[in-house]
Structure formats: C-alpha cells, structure tokens
Amino acid sequence: MSEIRDTAIIDALRRQMSIAAAKQAIAAGNLANVNTPGYKARAIDFAEALERELGGTVSLTATQKNHIGTTTGEQTPAAVEVDGLPSRRDGNTVQLDRELLTMTSAAGEFARAQTALAAKFRLVKYAINEGR
C-alpha cells in the first residue's frame, strides 16, 4: 500500500480552496449581472477544472488590495455558460437562488479545506515544539 505524503495532502487542499474561490467568483459575477439583459449564467466547467488540476496547478495570489487573481502563467478554471436554465423575457438566465446556493456551497468547501489545512499545520507545529 502506498503512503500518502504531507505535500500531496497540502496540494490537494490548496487545489480545493482554489476551485472553491473560483466558484464563488463566478457566482458573484452572475449575481452582479442579474439585471443585465441577455446575460447567460456561467459556472465552472468541472471536467476541465479537474483535468487542469490533475495536470497543473492553480494558486491564488493577491495582485492588488482586496483582489484575488492567479499567479503569472497560471489560469483559473474555465467558466462556461450553463445550459438548460430558463430565461426571463429579457434573455437573462441568472437565478438568484441558484447563485446563492452555489456561493454557500463553495464557502463550505473552502472552509472544510481550510480547517483541514490548519489542522495539518498544527500537527507540524506540535511536532516541532515537542522535539525540543
């Protein structure tokens, strides 16, 4: 049986946090355009995001105060228009309940990964402090 290394766990948690943050950003963009005529709701293309995450890395960095972006040369998961959503008379397909649920779900995913990552670092800190 193969052993799971700490770096693999930390990388997986980082990827989870990156995808959750991207989901929230896309949902926030949808909410910002709730009254834009003809706007089509967008979501992360899960298959593409999974493929990108398994083949590469996406990490978040602060490029400006209160702004989250990706580091140079890296891309965020692709956003695609969501098919099958009913449109209003103005052609907009954004549904307030759906976007709020997406944001809440992504916040939960981020919080779970963050809690696990914090626990991992507490273990490392404990190991260092008890080794003295």
Report the range out of 56-60, 78-82, 113-117 with the highest average pLDDT.
113-117
Give yes or no for residue 86 having a pLDDT over 50.
yes
b/e sequence 33-51, b meaning 16+ C-beta within 10 Å: beeeeebbbbbbeeeebee
What tokens appear for 90 in the block?
């103005």
Q: How confident is the model at residue 79 (pLDDT cuts 50, 70, 90)?
A: confident
Amino acid 21: pLDDT: 93
Q: How confident is the model at residue 119 (pLDDT cuts 50, 70, 90)?
A: very high
Q: What is the mean pLDDT of residues 3-11?
A: 83
Tell me which amino acid residue 92 is.
Answer: N
Give yes or no for residue 110 having a pLDDT over 90.
yes
Q: What is the DSSP letter of 76?
A: P
Amino acid 47: pLDDT: 67
